[in-house]
Structure 1
């Protein structure tokens, strides 16, 4: 008598395209059964989520056999590195509460103290190639980052603006999506990857440090807000160097994208000359890989017979 697959597995398999599911359902089921043998409920759920994620990547063209999936695999560890470097920013008191709210202040301090620890642990797991652990740590880190906006409002650290709230929610979600959407079979740990992680972490710390210096000593760096354009500059350089054969540059561009988006939008509302310049640089540099890809497809397509 044939055993029915567990409900979680049946649910996960539905995320795959019908044709792929019909061809590989038995293989995926065998992988699930082998991975969850003598496993607890949480491990079984995590394995089902991995299979569901594989199906989503198949539907969206982010599989390990596609260029987009390979770029995401390069971007995922760099995104963790940037998030860790950026989270150090939250531990520095850059603003004073506008009014007294002791509970709000304590919650903000607890949240912003725990967040860097989670990202640091996730980065250590990425460094050693333990991606299951890294992804398990990324989820609560993203939740804490999402909670930062309502906690800052509760602590009366700033007045809410529509743009600020949207960015405060969109940037963590985009960061988490990049990390969690990367094909699992392409993720690992290697010496070149560790070098890229170390350089990217240092880059994030330097850029956020420049913004901190610009906030407290604006006369040193040309005026408050100008350092926001540095993120757009890094994104532009990475886009210019990203080609089919330079997946690392494309991965860096994807990893920098959330912070570049946050910093550039903050310069566009209210509109500033620095914001316009940053936007134009990103758009022009982003057009270069698109033109390269279009030319590559045109060269690869054979002329049709007359």
Structure 2
């Protein structure tokens, strides 16, 4: 009985990786499923279960963060920010070409994700997609 309580306590730590609103809706169900699936006498969560919960929790947080990017100001000024984002991405492409010419390819580890991020944000801001809320 004591080990069952400690196992539940340990399982309750794992959903902390999920956003609070997600935990409010699903935490009890997740804990009950994990405890029902635990072997008798098990005192600790299995490493695979822990890794899976942490991975999905962080994925849920990133998905919700993606809904907030670009921010409200950028959405409101989408007509100006769309060409600015594309211009920055284009400039980073030119800079990448120059760095490759000088045999500094290691910079691409930083520049390529920045290019992808600016193109993604420009795509999100494309004209006609974001309309300011009245």
State the TM-score bracket (shorter-chain normalisation). 0.3 to 0.5
TM-score w.r.t. structure 1 length?
0.24
TM-score w.r.t. structure 2 length?
0.46
